[in-house]
Structures are given as structure tokens and as C-alpha cells.
Structure 1
């Protein structure tokens, strides 16, 4: 029985430890050897969600994120809370976040996938003041002119200009002129 008292939850501590240590064998054992892992949703435990890639983005070594992607984790899996994988990586504030974002993009993540506030990852990077993240996204084809479809329907460039984030605005203008 898991730590929540529910028969159907895996052991939270074992799952969390396996993610933190990047131990695939221990993770699969703690989860009860789920089929189609990591492509199919799997109950990771109370408060852990059901997306192994998302949890790994926040808590696992970069090599473990890469292993999940190699095993078929979807780098563009929608997230009901508005944090699909690339936006989740941008939000993590981990020192390795750029490596994780690059891995996601190399494995086919949608550089224009919408998330919270209908933002693309580029909108999110601008909102976070993440110039390095914005540059990486542009290198992978992010469109600085793409607008949100709600609220003020702004582009990442317009958001950078409105926020006075001049370094990002200059970078985005340069990308538009190519």
C-alpha cells in the first residue's frame, strides 16, 4: 500500500526518490511496472500528477529526462494546468533548464505550443525575463510575432516592449527581420 492509505497509489517516497536519483529501474518497480511507460498517463502518487516527463523536468537529472524522451515520452503533451513540457522547463528555474529545453526541442517539442494565458514558450520566457531561454527558442524556430488568442492578443515582442525588456525586444526584432 502507498503512503496515502489508498490501495491504488504507488509508494510516494519510492517514486519521488527514483525520480530524484534518475533510477528508471526503481521507478518502474515503484510504479508496478506500468504498461506503455512513459507514453501513457500513470498515477505517480498523491500530488505527483500522472505525467512522468513533467515530474522529471522539475526534479530529475537531465540524463533521466533524456531517457524518458528516448523511451517515448511526449515532449508536447498538453497540460491541463497550462505548463506543457517546454513551458514547465522554463518555469523550473533549474540551472539545467536550458539543457532540458534543448532536449525537449530536439525530441520534437512544439516550439509554439500554447500554455498558461495562451502563451507560447517564447511569451513565457519574455514574461519571466529569461533572455537565454528566449534565444534558445528562437534558434529552434519560435515566432516572435505569434499572438495570444485571448486577453490583449499580444505577441512576445509586444510583451517584451511593454515590459521594458529591451534586450529581449531587440533579440525578437532581429529574429523577425530574418
Structure 2
């Protein structure tokens, strides 16, 4: 094990330095090296949206499903950052992303993306994968519920709701308290989203 090369690889991945990543790998760095929070080089690249670094690491066999101490993985954080380019690089990995892998809230990547209003990501992940549009996290929320409950009701979240519905999201799925997305939208005064949910 070359600890020095591992540390250089982690630092280079964090800052998005492709040449330094390549040099560290050439010097014997482990593609699955971990930092103090158990983050891999690929996870650090994904967090920083360093797509070229991620492409190099994936080609070197990096694990797109490797989870850190917070249960984040390279694939899962694409839903947080909303990076379609990173999502597509990770989809080329062998083996590919585990679409059912859960974050610390029991969610999959489309749920934080819906919450944050990442329209392009939600569209891409629904079109380019067979991700479960009705996955329920530990809070009892689907992507549709999260888009309404934690969204701002604005244009981005309206588009996210429309995309989820078009992908077959079950509008009748209620939260742990029995409240549906429509009822949440009505309570929050999100008229446009409520209209979408009424169909």
C-alpha cells in the first residue's frame, strides 16, 4: 500500500486535477482509497462535479456504489448536485450504479433531486434509467411527495412534479400521516402543482 500516493489521489480528486489523479494512480494509489470520512476518490470527484476526473476513475475501475460514513455514494450524490454529466459518466461504469442504494434518509437519487428542483437531472434519470419513481424513504416520502413538501412551489418544482407524473408516479401514495401530495400542495397554496396533481 502506498499511503502517500493514496493521499495525493484523494487530494487531486477533491480539487478536480485530472493529471494529478493520473499521476497518483500511476504511482500505485488505490482507486478505492478512503479519507477520514470514508469518502473514495470518485465520491470526492462527484461531490465537486469534477466530471473529467470521474471519467478517469471509472475507467480505472472505481466503485460507483462505494458509500462513506454518511452513506453517500458517487451515484447518490448526483441527485444532490443535480449533475446530469456526472450521472451519465457513472452510468458507464461496470458494474453500474445500484439504483436502489439508499442514502442516510433511506432515499434514492431521484428523491433529493426532486426536493431541490433539479429539473434536468430528474428528466434524465427517469428517461435513462429504470429508477423506482415511487420509492419511499425512511420519512415516508416519495420523490413526488418530497418535491411538494420540501419544494417552493415555483416553476422548477412544477416541472419536476410534471416529469414524475409523466413517468408514472403514483399521485395517491400518501405520507406516513396519510396525507397525499395533492393535500400537501393545497395546504401550502401551490395552485399550479395542485392542478397538476388533480390531473
TM-score range, shorter chain: 0.7 to 0.9
Which structure has the larger Rg over C-alpha atoms? 2
Question: How many angstroms does 1:128 deviate by?
Answer: 1.5
**Inter-partner Cα distance in structure 2 for 1:10 and 1:84:** 24
Which 4+ residue blocks in structure 1 deviate beyond 4 angstroms?
11-17, 47-50
| Partner residue in 1 for 2:173 | none
Q: After the TM superposition, which residues 26-175 of structure 1 pair with which residues of structure 2 at under 5 Å, given as runs? A: 26-28=23-25, 33-34=28-29, 37-38=30-31, 40=32, 42-44=33-35, 49-59=38-48, 61-92=50-81, 97-107=83-93, 108-139=96-127, 140-148=129-137, 150-151=138-139, 153-162=140-149, 163=151, 164=153, 165-175=157-167
Say what the alpha-carbon RMSD is for the aligned residues.
Answer: 2.8
Q: How many aligned residue pairs are there?
A: 157
Question: How many angstroms does 1:169 deviate by?
Answer: 1.1
Deviations 1:83-132 (A, max 9, x none): 21122233346xxx211111112321122321131111010101111111
- The gaps in structure 1 that reach 5 residues or longer are 1-7
Question: How many angstroms does 1:15 deviate by?
Answer: 4.2
- The gaps in structure 2 that reach 5 residues or longer are 170-199
